Structures are given as structure tokens and as C-alpha cells.
């Protein structure tokens, strides 16, 4: 058997075992919840006979082990049972919601992966410059804030406070350029480097001030004008480009959250290879620095980059709960939160199992791709 196929089968078996353990944890956590589920649903006014009949209807009169294997067997076949709140099949409830979540995660991946790789390559090419420091500050700032904070800032900039939020951001970036240029000048660094930063700073600050004045005059005409909607009202029949527009802010929030990790890993992987002999030989031949990085360094740095990209893709699918709640996005995370508020335990169990299976599968994919793209791991001595 081919080494990659053998390794993939081993990882798949380990992933299935992990998913089995996670399913036991999910079911046990629900079992350990205080109170009687049937009594909580029916209320305190329900008679004991009604509660007993409802427990039998839900299958709560059976032993926990029997109920677990019945639930697991149904889940394997795609039958997660019936919702306690709406009396609908859980698979029907989750089908459209799961599609919306996958669309949002794919949209964020299309934005974040190319941006992260390009920024990482540029940061490695111009390392220890003002560009490198600015990219690191911006990306680390975005990943340091909670997701809901980043989401509300984007709503303020691009929805509620548009276009004044963009004006303030333009001015703040200009001030950063100004401080960078003055700091370099005071530190006695190259005058050319300092004065190459200062014009950009003055232009950005001046543009921010002029735009603030202009938008201040036009404020009565700008009421109600937004760049993107702050609430993602998406229906099954929504056209594709309208769906993209309404999903832009949630996707941008996820992009800002995951970009820093992928960008810094790309930067670190490229910098680690720049001291290699074949890179030095390419430089001595007079090859363009950008071509050296893209042609010679990037192919040999793909293993860690692919690994971190796959791990962040797993996060994009499983970490959408907060973002979907903020933007009222009709995805699987919003369904799980709504089910928690309604004490719809069966839907919560199904959502948790789907999230766990997706995360384990993408981690398995990351592991396989990292080993397949690294000959030292594929053929260990």
C-alpha cells in the first residue's frame, strides 16, 4: 500500500475514535444537566401522569446506554431525531443552516487565505521595515480582540457609522505613519527611509481631515447610507451576489480573526528558508528577490503553511457561533444558540456533533497534507 494511503487510513481510524469519544462526552454532558427535561418542558403545572407519558415519548424511561446507542445509530444514518421545540425533523432544520454556515466559511476562506499568504510573503520580503511592523501590529490587534468586538467595530465603520468610520481609520493609519517616520528620524536612521514614510503620513492625515469636513457638510444627505447591511437576512431563494453582499461583514470579521495566524506562519516559514544555501545561490545569480521567494522559498515552505491554513479553515466552520449571533446570520451556530435558549436539547446535541465531526475531519486533512508535502515526514528514517 502507498505510504500516503496507509497514513491516511491510520489518521482516519484515529479521527473516528476521537469522534466516538466526543459523542460520549456530548451525550454525557446533556445527561448530567440538573433537573428533569420532561418536567422542564411541560412546566411545573403538569401532572405526574403527563410527565411520565412525555418521558416515555422522548425515550427518557430507557437506560442511558440504550439511549446513547440509539442516538448514535440514528446520527450515523443522518437521523438526529425530532426537535422538541418545533416538532420538526432535526435533519431538515440543519440542512439549510449548515449550507449557510459552509457558504460563510468558504467566503471567509476565499478572502483570508490569499490575503494571508500575500501579506506573509511581503512581510518576509520587507522584514524589519515599517511595512512589516505595520502588518504585524494590524493583524495582531485584530486577533487580540474578541470576535464580537471586531464585528461591532466593522458594523460601526461600514454600516451604522459609514462613511465616518472609514475616515477615522484613515486618519489613525496616517498618524501611525507619521509617528513611524518621526521615530525613525529621531533615532538617527536613514533620512531617505524616514522621509519616504512622512509624505504618506501627511497625505493620509490630510485626506482624513478633508474627508471629515466634506462628509460633515453632506451629513444630512448621508443619513441611512450604509456600505453593507449590519443584519444578514438570507433566505433559501436569495440570489448569489445579494447573498455575498449580506454575508460580507460576517466573512470580513472571520477573515480579520484568522489572518494573523496564517500570515505570521507564512512569514516565519519563508524567513527560516532565506538563509539556506540554494536561496543564497539564487541571490548571487542576480535573481529578483520576489522571484526568489515565490519560486524557491515558497514551495519548500508549503508544509507548515498548508497545515496552518487547514487548521484555520476548521476554525472558520466551528468558530462562527459568535459571529452568526452578532449579525443574526441564519447558520448552524445561530440555530444552536436559539436551541439552547429554548432548551431544545436534541438540536444542541446534533449541532455539537456536526461541529465536532467537521473540526476532526479538517484536522485530519491538515495532518495528511502536512505529511504528504514534507518528504522528511513521509519517509522517516
Please report, for the chain, the start and end positions of each structural domain, with discontinuous segments joined by +. 14-77, 91-146+229-378, 163-225
- Given a contact cutoff of 8 angstroms between Cβ atoms, the answer to whether 316 and 105 are in contact is yes
Mean pLDDT of the chain: 76
List, for residues 90-127, the tens digit of each pLDDT value: 888 888 788 888 898 889 989 988 998 888 888 888 88
- Given a contact cutoff of 8 angstroms between Cβ atoms, the answer to whether 11 and 368 are in contact is yes
C-alpha 63/C-alpha 56 separation (Å) is 12
pLDDT of 220 reads 44
Residue 241: count of CB within 10 angstroms of its CB? 8
Residue 240: count of CB within 10 angstroms of its CB? 8
List, for residues 277-334, the tens digit of each pLDDT value: 888 888 888 888 788 888 878 877 777 788 888 888 888 887 788 888 888 888 888 8
CA 357 to chain centre: 17
C-alpha 127/C-alpha 219 separation (Å) is 42
- Given a contact cutoff of 8 angstroms between Cβ atoms, the answer to whether 369 and 317 are in contact is no
pLDDT of 188 reads 44
pLDDT of 88 reads 83
Contacts of 376-379 with C-beta under 8 Å, sequence gap 24+, read: 377/303, 378/3, 378/4, 378/7, 379/3
Cα separations in angstroms, 265 against 1, 145, 220, 235, 296: 33, 19, 46, 37, 17
- Given a contact cutoff of 8 angstroms between Cβ atoms, the answer to whether 100 and 272 are in contact is no
- Given a contact cutoff of 8 angstroms between Cβ atoms, the answer to whether 42 and 51 are in contact is yes
- Rounded (to 5) percent helix, strand, coil in the chain: 80, 0, 20
* CA dihedral (283, 289, 292, 298) positive or negative: positive
pTM: 0.77
Give the chain's residues under pLDDT 70.
1-3, 35-43, 160-227, 374-381
Question: What's the CATH code, domain 91-146+229-378?
Answer: 1.10.3720.10
Read off the DSSP letter of residue 295.
I
Torsion of CA 190, 195, 198, 203, to 10 degrees: -150
Amino acid at each position: 500500500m502507498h505510504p500516503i494511503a496507509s497514513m491516511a487510513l491510520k489518521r482516519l481510524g484515529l479521527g473516528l475514535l476521537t469522534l466516538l469519544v466526543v459523542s460520549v462526552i456530548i451525550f454525557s454532558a446533556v445527561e448530567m444537566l440538573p433537573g428533569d427535561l420532561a418536567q422542564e418542558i411541560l412546566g411545573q403545572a403538569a401532572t405526574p401522569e403527563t410527565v411520565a407519558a412525555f418521558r416515555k415519548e422522548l425515550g427518557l424511561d430507557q437506560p442511558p446506554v440504550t439511549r446513547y446507542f440509539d442516538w448514535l445509530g440514528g446520527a450515523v444514518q443522518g437521523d438526529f431525531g425530532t426537535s422538541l421545540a418545533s416538532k420538526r425533523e432535526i435533519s431538515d432544520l440543519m440542512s439549510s443552516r449548515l449550507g449557510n454556515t459552509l457558504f460563510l466559511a468558504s467566503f471567509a476562506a476565499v478572502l483570508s487565505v490569499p490575503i494571508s499568504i500575500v501579506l506573509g510573503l511581503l512581510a518576509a520580503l520587507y522584514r524589519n521595515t515599517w511595512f512589516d511592523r505595520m502588518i504585524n501590529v494590524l493583524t495582531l490587534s485584530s486577533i487580540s480582540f474578541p470576535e464580537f468586538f471586531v464585528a461591532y467595530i466593522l458594523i460601526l465603520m461600514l454600516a451604522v457609522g459609514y462613511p465616518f468610520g472609514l475616515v477615522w481609520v484613515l486618519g489613525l493609519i496616517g498618524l501611525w505613519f507619521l509617528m513611524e517616520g518621526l521615530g525613525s528620524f529621531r533615532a538617527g536612521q536613514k533620512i531617505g527611509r524616514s522621509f519616504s514614510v512622512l509624505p504618506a503620513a501627511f497625505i493620509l492625515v490630510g485626506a482624513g481631515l478633508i474627508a471629515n469636513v466634506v462628509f460633515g457638510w453632506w451629513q444630512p444627505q448621508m443619513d441611512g447610507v450604509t456600505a453593507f447591511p449590519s443584519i444578514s437576512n438570507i433566505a433559501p431563494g436569495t440570489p448569489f451576489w445579494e447573498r455575498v453582499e449580506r454575508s460580507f461583514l460576517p466573512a470580513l470579521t472571520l477573515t480579520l480573526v484568522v489572518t494573523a495566524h496564517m500570515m505570521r506562519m507564512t512569514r516565519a516559514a519563508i524567513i527560516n528558508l532565506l538563509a539556506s544555501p540554494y536561496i543564497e545561490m539564487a541571490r548571487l545569480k542576480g535573481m529578483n528577490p520576489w522571484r526568489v521567494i515565490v519560486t524557491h522559498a515558497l514551495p519548500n515552505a508549503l508544509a507548515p503553511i498548508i497545515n496552518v491554513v487547514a487548521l484555520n479553515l476548521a476554525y472558520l466552520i466551528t468558530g462562527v457561533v459568535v459571529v452568526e449571533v452578532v449579525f443574526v446570520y441564519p447558520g448552524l451556530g445561530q440555530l444552536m444558540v436559539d436551541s439552547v435558549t429554548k432548551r431544545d436539547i436534541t438540536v444542541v446535541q446534533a449541532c455539537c456533533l456536526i461541529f465536532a465531526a467537521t473540526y476532526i475531519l479538517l484536522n485530519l486533512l491538515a495532518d495528511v497534507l502536512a505529511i504528504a508535502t514534507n518528504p522528511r515526514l513521509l519517509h522517516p528514517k
